[in-house]
Amino acid sequence: MTSTEQEPDLEALLEYIRRNRGFDFSGYKRTSLSRRIRKRMQVIGLDDYNDYVDYLEVHPDEFIDLFNTILINVTAFFREPQAWQYIASEIIPNIINSKPVSKPIRVWSAGCASGEETYTVAMLLAEALGMEEYSKRVKVFATDVDAEALNHSRHGIYNPKDVQDINSDLLEKYFERVNGRYSVLKELRRCVIFGRHDLVQDAPISRIDLLICRNTLMYFNTETQSRILDRFHFALNNGGFLFLGKAEMLLTRSHSFTAVDLRRRLFTKVANGNLRDMLLSMSNSDNQPTAPEMVDQIRIHEAAFEIDPVAQIVVGLNNSVLLANNQARTVFNLNLRDIGRPLQDLELSYRPVELRSRIDQVRSNARSITLKDVEHPDSEREIRYFDVQILPLINGDTAELVGVKIVFTDVTRFKQLQNELLYANQELETAYEELQSTNEELETTNEELQSTVEELETTNEELQSTNEELETMNEELQSTNEELQTINEELRQRSQELNRVNSFLEAILTSLRAGVVVLNPHFNILIWNRKAEDLWGLRNDEVLLQHFMSLDIGLPLEPLRIPIREIFAGKSDYYEILLDARNRRGRLIQCHVTCTPLRTGTDIQGVILLMEEREKLDD
């Protein structure tokens, strides 16, 4: 009995999560998955999976807590120190020595959680290369499906308890103490790239020298583990290293990896065989030497298949790509190294169309499937269209299925002609409708023009009458203009007189040896002559309309406040005082200040202050 039959409600919950949040937990072990979900359900007081689905619909924020419970983020710096010592002493020097200085060193930390192991390998690389060389050559890709854990690791800030296993020299060299916590040095963090990645669904990162995935595979079932390990095999360079957790073994993919140090769970990639070896082994089932005629026949088939103008690939029963002709390699950006790799490791498996499920369907039914007008964008960002045929390959002697052939027939030109014909028909229909509409508009316009002619004749008569009225108004405006010219001449003369008076007043204020300040009833400055500027160092434009008592000058102003108010109130007509002051040059002086009212008739419009500098006499 399958797990689906045992707990259909759990499967319904997982399907709901996949549809609504894009997390596919179908490859996880059901016992572990059920235990983690029920732990979360107990927190909110639920016992039934169906009730929990209803709760998720009403409380979408619950998804975050659920994912944090399922995705157990348990990690530490230098976890299992002996394994990391082996990495530092053997694996990293091997990688550095095997690569030219011009080639980058690429590391993938899959399932990085909160980032401790990611920064551990980054520190070891920086120690081996030196920080300058590390910054130039190293790229560490850190991925996880938990966005919250990625956000924490991206900041690289840890509590003192988190860093207690780090050697004191490394801690001082690669961390900064900030507010009682430890922050990873920017130079080290700059070469680490964090991103969300689902090991089951997303395409693997390629050209990796060291792949770290510790205690992550153990949460998946055997089938899903096999798929992930196939992706890891594709991701690693030939001779690249895979570092697993102590609870994980490569039981399902022992032919793809070989152990470097089994006790420390370090493995290296085994390269796939070539296409000719696979073909000969398929044709020689009894392990006897292949006849020359068989070899020639294979070569002829290969040549004919290779030059076929239609893109074709052949997939074996183990889902590996056995053949891909020149046209297929050109169109889908394949190379000879891709021959023999699992189909799911290639972009072709899901683009331009999802092939894996359809290949499974062809194997089950032993019937071909044809897909029409499949879109495929090429390198020049143009859309090409293919008819895709997925055909079962049957052994004529045994009637057994030996593989699946996929044929991509380019129908781009036919599709373009079809679209052009459709577009031309639409344009023709549109033009006919526009022509008919235009004819109706012309008839309507003709009637409107007839009516407009009659309206214009009436308007002409009205314009004649309006013209006569305008002529009368023109004469009146001419008379008004003459009056305005007379007034303008008078204003010009008065303006000249005002300018002369202002110049005369300016000359008087400039000629006075005393500083002159005129205040309005609000103590705002109206006049500040040049002598006042010379005394106190403030220009006229700096003090104009400023409150006199707020000025910061060498003259004490507070003794003048009450006398000035009494003058404004009409209680006094004259006030004088001798004040100790400091002029703009910083010299101590005595300033004789005289306050008198500025009158207009009987009204007091302001107060005039005269300030005369006198030498300060020594006591």
237 and 95 housed in the same domain = yes
100 and 230 housed in the same domain = yes
- pLDDT tens for residues 179-214? 889 999 999 999 999 998 888 888 888 899 999 998
Element (H, E) at 35: helix 30-44
Segment 232-258 shows an average pLDDT of 79
310: CATH? 3.30.450.20
Element (H, E) at 568: helix 558-568
* Count of the separate structural domains present in the chain: 4
Beta bridge partners of 599: 604
Cβ atoms 584, 611 nearer than 8 A: no
117 and 230 housed in the same domain = yes
The reported pLDDT for the residue numbered 288 is 37
65 and 97 housed in the same domain = no
Q: Record the tokens describing residue 304, joined without a space.
A: 């004919």
Question: 221 in a domain, yes or no?
Answer: yes
Give the neighbor-by-neighbor strand order of the sheet with 236-244: 192-196, 138-144, 105-110, 208-213, 236-244, 266-269, 257-261
Q: Record the tokens describing residue 592, joined without a space.
A: 């004789």
CB crowding 64-73: b at 16 or more within 10 Å, else e: eebbeebbeb
- Residue of higher predicted confidence among 383 and 219: 383
User: What average pLDDT does the chain have?
Assistant: 83
Element (H, E) at 175: strand 175-178
239 and 376 housed in the same domain = no
pLDDT above 90: residue 139: yes
Banded model confidence at residue 283, pLDDT cuts 50, 70, 90:
very low
The residues near 252 (Cβ < 8 Å, ≥ 6 apart) are 222, 225, 226, 229
The reported pLDDT for the residue numbered 281 is 33
Question: 295 in a domain, yes or no?
Answer: no
- Residue of higher predicted confidence among 480 and 522: 522
Residue where one domain finishes, among candidates 49, 70, 91: 70
* H runs (alpha helix) in 100-192: 116-129, 131-137, 147-155, 168-174, 186-189
171 and 318 housed in the same domain = no
Question: 232 in a domain, yes or no?
Answer: yes
62: CATH? 1.10.155
The reported pLDDT for the residue numbered 285 is 34
CA-to-CA distance for 558 and 597, rounded, in angstroms? 19
Cβ atoms 192, 116 nearer than 8 A: no
- pLDDT tens for residues 13-69? 888 887 776 566 666 667 777 887 888 888 888 888 888 888 888 887 787 777 667
The reported pLDDT for the residue numbered 253 is 55
Segment 341-359 shows an average pLDDT of 85
Cβ atoms 583, 577 nearer than 8 A: no
- Residue of higher predicted confidence among 513 and 409: 409
Question: 54 in a domain, yes or no?
Answer: yes
The reported pLDDT for the residue numbered 280 is 39
pLDDT above 50: residue 166: yes
Segment 562-588 shows an average pLDDT of 89
CA-to-CA distance for 349 and 259, rounded, in angstroms? 30
- Residue of higher predicted confidence among 616 and 225: 225
pLDDT above 80: residue 604: yes
| Pick from 135-149, 248-262, 422-436, 549-563: least confident | 248-262
Q: Record the tokens describing residue 82, joined without a space.
A: 């002996």
pLDDT above 80: residue 399: no
95 and 239 housed in the same domain = yes
Banded model confidence at residue 524, pLDDT cuts 50, 70, 90:
very high
401 and 340 housed in the same domain = yes
The reported pLDDT for the residue numbered 89 is 93
pLDDT above 70: residue 397: no
The reported pLDDT for the residue numbered 618 is 54
Q: Record the tokens describing residue 527, joined without a space.
A: 């006049």
Q: Which is nearest to 235 in space by CA: 108, 105, 355?
A: 108
188 and 235 housed in the same domain = yes
Range of the structural domain that residue 576 is part of:
512-615
**What are the φ and ψ backbone dihedral angles of 489, each rounded to 5 degrees?**
-65, -40
86 and 235 housed in the same domain = yes
Classify 604 as helix, strand or coil. Answer: strand
The reported pLDDT for the residue numbered 339 is 81
What secondary structure does DSSP assign to 254-318, as a single string? TTTEEEEETTTTEEEEPPPPPHHHHHHHHH-TT-PPPPHHHHHHHHHHHHHHHH-SSEEEEE-TT
Segment 570-588 shows an average pLDDT of 89
Cβ atoms 608, 595 nearer than 8 A: yes
The reported pLDDT for the residue numbered 71 is 61
Question: 94 in a domain, yes or no?
Answer: yes
| Pick from 159-173, 291-305, 427-441, 470-484: least confident | 291-305
Percent of the chain with pLDDT over 90: 23
| Pick from 356-370, 405-419, 459-473, 547-561: least confident | 459-473
Question: 31 in a domain, yes or no?
Answer: yes
Cβ atoms 301, 275 nearer than 8 A: no
Question: 158 in a domain, yes or no?
Answer: yes
Banded model confidence at residue 398, pLDDT cuts 50, 70, 90:
low
Burial class for 55, CB neighbours closer than 10 Å (0-12, 13-18, 19+): middle
Assign residue 111 a region: left if phi > 0, alpha if psi is -120 to 50, beta otherwise? left
Classify 18 as helix, strand or coil. Answer: helix
Residue where one domain finishes, among candidates 414, 443, 463: 414
CA-to-CA distance for 160 and 115, rounded, in angstroms? 15
CA-to-CA distance for 205 and 213, rounded, in angstroms? 13
pLDDT above 50: residue 275: no
pLDDT above 60: residue 149: yes
The reported pLDDT for the residue numbered 381 is 67
What type of residue sits at position 328?
A: A
The reported pLDDT for the residue numbered 292 is 45
Tokens 């890709």 label which residue?
Answer: 141
- pLDDT tens for residues 288-340? 334 345 445 556 766 777 788 888 999 888 788 888 888 888 888 888 778 87
pLDDT above 60: residue 80: yes
- Between CA 571 and CA 577, with CA 573 as vertex, the angle to 5 degrees is 105
Percent of the chain with pLDDT over 70: 88
The reported pLDDT for the residue numbered 263 is 84
The reported pLDDT for the residue numbered 466 is 82
The residues near 336 (Cβ < 8 Å, ≥ 6 apart) are 275, 329
Classify 554 as helix, strand or coil. Answer: coil
Cβ atoms 228, 217 nearer than 8 A: yes
120 and 225 housed in the same domain = yes
Residue where one domain finishes, among candidates 38, 70, 102: 70
Whole-prediction pTM: 0.43
180 and 324 housed in the same domain = no
Element (H, E) at 81: helix 81-86
Tokens 């001419």 label which residue?
Answer: 478
The reported pLDDT for the residue numbered 47 is 84
132: CATH? 3.40.50.150
Question: 75 in a domain, yes or no?
Answer: no
Segment 99-124 shows an average pLDDT of 91
